[in-house]
Amino acid sequence: MWIQLNVRDSEQAIQVEDVVPAVPEAEPKTEGVPIGQSPKKHRVTRVILGATVLLTLWYLETSAMRFFNLSRDTYGIFWPRHEWLLAHVIAGTLAILIGPLQFWPGLKQKYPALHRGMGVLYVTSVAAGGLAAFYLAFHTDFSWIFSMGLSAMATAWIISTGMATVAIYRRMIPQHKEWMIRSYVVTFGFVLLRLTTGILDMSNVGSISDRFVLASWISWSVPLLITETLLQGRKVFARSVNAISDETASY
């Protein structure tokens, strides 16, 4: 009899275990990591932004900061329009320093008011720097091709920043982020312009005018093309993977 009771109890216990669903284990929480972003992605972002900051400091030290010394010897051929150049340098310096802070992981979540305030300052700096860039482009001592390169860069700068501003006002967060990435790539074009001309000077390629013309185009257009390829390519390949998964599931 005891054997029968033990057997029945065991059978009932097995039935109860089958009925009661297993409680899933809680997923590990990662503090300070926004949803959808991994710590590895944050590390990559910090490395890229860190390298950007280092190149920016090099650019400010070797090129931009000297224009704060208002003298004819400092500005050289730019002295007749040094007010416009100084305005362009100040606005560009603000924009290029604000950018990495706006993209720094976790900063927007911790300090949203600071993020919005710096965003307004960034947009204002781009507007002022872009207008000054147009004036300088149309009053350059170099060729008209160089002028068109700077004008195209200023146009891309203002349009990308304007689109980012419209997107955030319409609460289109992913589009805002992508347009801000494009905007800062063009902003960083000033650093790449200085870096490109330096490399061409060391290589002794063409004349000084040729080097400036080439740098005025490739310093922003090539990085912008690479950025756009990465932004859109990620979506294309993600959709391809999802499409393959859907087709496989349908069989």
For 95, 97, 121, the CA distances from 76, given in Å and listed in that order, are 25, 26, 30
Residue ranges of domains in the chain: 43-240
**How far is residue 139's CA from residue 78's CA, in Å, rounded to a whole number?**
10
Please count the residues of the chain.
Answer: 251
Q: Tokens for 114?
A: 């600071």
Task: Give the single-character DSSP code of 22.
Answer: P
**How far is residue 43's CA from residue 53's CA, in Å, rounded to a whole number?**
15
Q: Tokens for 29?
A: 């929480």
Query: Is the full-model pTM beyond 0.85?
Result: no
Going residue by residue through the chain (251 aa), what tens digit of pLDDT does each one get? 433 434 344 444 444 444 444 444 444 444 444 444 566 777 888 888 889 999 999 999 988 898 998 888 888 888 899 999 999 999 999 999 999 999 988 888 899 999 999 999 999 999 999 999 999 999 988 888 999 999 999 999 999 999 999 999 999 999 999 999 999 999 999 999 999 988 988 888 888 888 889 999 999 999 999 999 999 998 888 866 565 455 444 43
In this structure, are residues 183 and 190 in contact, taking their beta carbons and an 8 Å threshold?
no
In this structure, are residues 92 and 125 in contact, taking their beta carbons and an 8 Å threshold?
yes
